[in-house]
Amino acid sequence: MTTPLLTRLHGIRHTDGWIFGTMLLSACLSLAASFVLSIDALRLAADPGTSLSCNINDVISCGTVATSWQAQLFGFPNAFLGLVAEPVVITIAVASLGGVRFPRWFMLAAQVVYALGLVFAYWLFSQSMFVIGALCPWCLLVTVSTTLVFATLTHVNIRDGNLFLPPRAQAAAKRFIDADLDLIAVTIWILVLILAIVLKYGPALLA
Amino acid sequence: MSTQARIRSRELRDARAAAERRRRKRNRAIAAGGAVVIACLLIAIVVGLVNAAGSGDSPTAAAPQGKAVAPAIATPGGALAVGDAAAPVKLEVYLDYMCPFCGRFEQANSGELDRMVAEGTVRLELYPLSFLDRMSDGSQYSTRTANAVATVADRAPGKLLALNTALFARQPAEGTKGLSDGEIADLARGAGVPEDVVDAFDDRIFQPWVTKSTAAVFETGIEGTPTVKINGTVFTGDLYTAGPLTSAVAAAEDAR
């Protein structure tokens, strides 16, 4: 029957290999997207004239996302933040895959900083979706992969009790994870993102 | 251990086991609920994709086939020409009313363009394209506006530049449905287009011409909008501040 299989999958999902593997993959995707966006930003800065146009072959948008003020909130292209932060995540993931155990305070700090990154990613997502009104595929990839990294980081920190939660909260969070409810929550979350994109940009993507 | 203590510890164990069973049951119920939500979301995504694909295809399929009637002042290349035919400088502007950068070009240069056309320095050839239809959430904003502009070019050519300016002044954001047909009609009335001409927008008379000339323009190697040509040569200077284009036109005029 399927029950042994499910039990095995459940077991695999809570192993270091799975958690940090997922984290590594997501962080690499995020880094790649940040890299592309950074190069675009530099090109745009070097040669503003040519990029400020609607290319017939660009299926998605006219580059308005890259030229909006939101794209340089701190005075430099946002993607630079990804270039700085994602290698750290990759390092953590690779070291953990190799058996390194980081101190609790270290993992808590990583969780807090990454939570800020997540908030920033979703602020950008909402801006491009509701204010700028243009779609940027690489930015979407950043949104999705940031979500996945955050989810895996939270998963491992709850599993290992790194968050300095009160015992009751820690026990409840642990039960939540053990019941795989976090997996369901993240899946729903990602699907809601996809649905929002399809509803808003479906015609542009498929026309 | 006394009997009493044994009973108590057993009761405690039973209570714990019961609590654990309840928790399991509750978690299973939540998981089942989650699975239902996931299934619903997947269905919604598929339905959304199918709808989007449908709405993306149908306008093209619904576009009237057959002979494309060209506006009276249209050039064979698919432009709407205004100004003195003998003007020393021919300025070609490729645009799409959905294109945000065309809006910025218009904002920066429309005053100068109007002046140079009025002075007889420039013969302006506008190419209203429709390739950004995909950016208007299925409403074909580019085609609708280009048709309106072509209709005005055909029947009230004196109001063409005024409507052009008015459309860019109220330009919608990418990815939105844009102005409704009624709003485009109001803009045209505001720009001084006669009522009978405005009424003809709904007939979509020049829609086939717009489709055809958009295709023809891209055949010539135009890669995006806005593209501006001065006497046939692509202008590579700054399109988004007033001045550089005017200087280039003056230089082209002197060169003749």
DSSP string, B110-152: HHHHHHHHHHTSEEEEEEE--GGGGGSTTS-HHHHHHHHHHHH
Task: Among A56, A176, A180, A187, pick the best mutation site for testing chain B contact (most B Cβ within 10 A).
Answer: A56
B77-95 residues labelled b (16+ CB within 10 A) or e (exposed): ebbbbbbeeebbbbbbbbb
Using alpha carbons, select from A47, A195, A53 the residue that is nearest to residue B132: A53
ipTM over 0.85: no
Whether A188 sits inside 8 A of B37 (CB atoms) is yes
Whether B224 sits inside 8 A of A187 (CB atoms) is no
Strand B122-128 and strand B89-95: the pairing is: parallel
Residue with tokens 């580019």: B142
Find the residue in A nearest to B134 (Cα). A204
Chain A residues closer than 8 Å to B225 by CB: 53-54
Q: Does residue B188 surpass a pLDDT of 80?
A: yes
Classified as helix, coil or strand, A101 is coil
Find the residue in A nearest to B226 (Cα). A53
Total domain count, chain A: 1
Chain B residues closer than 8 Å to A132 by CB: 173-174
The shortest CB-CB distance from B41 to any of A53, A134, A195 is to: A195
How large is the angle between the packed helices A16-46 and A79-97, nearest 10 degrees? 160
| Tens-digit pLDDT profile for residues A13-70 | 888 889 999 999 999 999 999 998 888 888 777 766 556 777 776 666 677 777 777 7
Q: Does residue B202 surpass a pLDDT of 70?
A: yes
Whether A198 sits inside 8 A of B52 (CB atoms) is yes
- The answer to whether the CB of B122 falls within 8 A of the CB of B249 is yes
| E strand segments, B3-85 | 80-82
Write down the H helix ranges in chain A. 2-13, 16-46, 48-51, 79-97, 104-126, 137-159, 167-178, 181-206
- The model's pTM is 0.69
Count of C-beta atoms within a 10 Å radius of residue B190? 13
| Tens-digit pLDDT profile for residues B80-104 | 999 988 899 999 999 999 999 999 9
Residue with tokens 């485009």: B184
Using alpha carbons, select from A32, A26, A33, A51 the residue that is nearest to residue A138: A33
- List CB contacts of A18: < 8 A, sequence separation 6 or more: A12
Whether B53 sits inside 8 A of A134 (CB atoms) is no
Angstrom distance (rounded) from CA B59 to CA B77: 24
State chain B's mean pLDDT as an integer.
88
| Tens-digit pLDDT profile for residues B22-75 | 888 888 888 889 899 999 999 999 998 888 777 654 444 344 455 688 998 889
Put simply, whether A134 touches B (Cβ < 8 Å) is yes
Angstrom distance (rounded) from CA B38 to CA A185: 9
Chain A residues closer than 8 Å to B175 by CB: 61, 133-135, 200-201, 204
A105: left (phi over 0), alpha (psi -120 to 50) or beta: alpha
Chain A residues closer than 8 Å to B137 by CB: 200, 203-204
In CATH, which of 3.40.30.10, 3.30.300.30, 3.20.20.80, 3.40.50.2300 is domain B80-255?
3.40.30.10
| Tens-digit pLDDT profile for residues B156-181 | 999 999 999 999 999 998 878 899 99
The one-digit pLDDT tens for each residue of chain A (207 residues) are 457 787 888 888 888 889 999 999 999 999 999 998 888 888 777 766 556 777 776 666 677 777 777 777 788 888 898 899 999 999 999 999 998 999 999 999 999 999 999 999 998 888 877 777 666 778 888 999 999 999 999 999 999 888 888 888 888 888 888 888 888 999 999 999 889 888 877 766 665
What does the CA dihedral B145, B149, B151, B152 come to, rounded to 10 degrees? 140
- How distant is the Cα of A107 from the closest Cα of chain B, in angstroms? 28
* Interface contacts A/B by beta carbons within 8 Å: 125
The pLDDT, as a whole number, for residue A107 is 93
Residue A53: give the domain boundaries: 2-206
What are the boundaries of each domain within chain B? 1-62, 80-255
Chain A residues closer than 8 Å to B27 by CB: 175, 179, 181
Whether A188 sits inside 8 A of B41 (CB atoms) is yes
- The answer to whether the CB of B51 falls within 8 A of the CB of A202 is yes
Using alpha carbons only, how large is chain A's radius of gyration in Å?
A: 19
- The answer to whether the CB of A56 falls within 8 A of the CB of A86 is no
> The domain that contains A133 carries what CATH number?
1.20.1440.130
| Tens-digit pLDDT profile for residues B204-249 | 999 999 999 998 998 888 888 899 999 999 998 888 889 899 999 9
